[in-house]
Amino acid sequence: MSAHADAATEDYSKGRPSHRTDSGTLRAVGAGLALVAAGLLVAAEFSTVVRIVIGSLETERRTVAGRDNHGYALLVVALAALPMTLLALRGARAAAVALVALGAVALLVALAIDLPATRESGTLPESVAFEDAHARPGPGLALEIAGAVGLVAAGGLLAGLLSRRRSGARLRERRR
């Protein structure tokens, strides 16, 4: 049996594939990644970043949420990432680069402010009453780092796609 003419050109053609749908899919993936990353940063603000534990059994004495440790900084980053994602989807390369910068800021907050707080021991208020009180990372620290890396990756993907699209447009202009 022979195939229909349209089906033959779609399935068996050796012509160049359309990169438009690939680019559109990758843009959707980048935007989705940015939104998930922003959601992780918001969740990290309300999650435990530092756990104060006592003894070798690590009995939890106190917890510190992200918002208490860095004053809602990551919430601001997450809220700023939302319009940048929409602008990057509309073709603004600067907005995609801003997503990378916002991710870098979130990573800086996680690694420079919250991570050192998870390694304290002698300066904790609990150290007065409990000799072996020490800090441990909570699940919020992982959320912060994952959200920051997600923003950097999403911004890099979107910026790369926008650069490729612009260079492709310039190349087509030269060919004319």
In this predicted structure, what is the pLDDT of residue 21?
Answer: 53
Which CATH number do you get for residue 75?
1.20.140
Q: What is the pLDDT of residues 22-61, one digit of tens each?
A: 788 999 999 999 999 999 999 999 999 999 999 888 889 8
Neighbouring CB atoms inside 10 A of 110's CB total: 27
Lowest-confidence segment of 7-16, 61-70, 126-135 by average pLDDT: 7-16
Domain assignment of residue 9, yes or no: no
Domain assignment of residue 111, yes or no: yes
Domain assignment of residue 82, yes or no: yes
Residues in CB range of 70: below 8 A, 6 or more apart: 109, 113, 114
Count how many domains the chain has: 1
Domain assignment of residue 157, yes or no: yes
Domain assignment of residue 166, yes or no: yes
Domain assignment of residue 1, yes or no: no
Domain assignment of residue 78, yes or no: yes
Q: Are 42 and 75 in contact (CB under 8 A)?
A: yes
Q: What is the pLDDT of residues 108-167, one digit of tens each?
A: 999 999 999 998 887 888 888 888 888 999 999 999 999 999 999 999 999 999 887 665
Overall pTM > 0.75: yes
174 — pLDDT class (breaks 50, 70, 90) = low
In this predicted structure, what is the pLDDT of residue 13?
Answer: 52
Domain assignment of residue 11, yes or no: no
The residue segments making up the domain with residue 33 are 21-175
In this predicted structure, what is the pLDDT of residue 163?
Answer: 84
Interior angle at CA 66, CA 154 and CA 129, nearest 5: 150
Token pair listed for 29: 């993936």
d(CA 142, CA 124): 22
Interior angle at CA 32, CA 28 and CA 33, nearest 5: 120
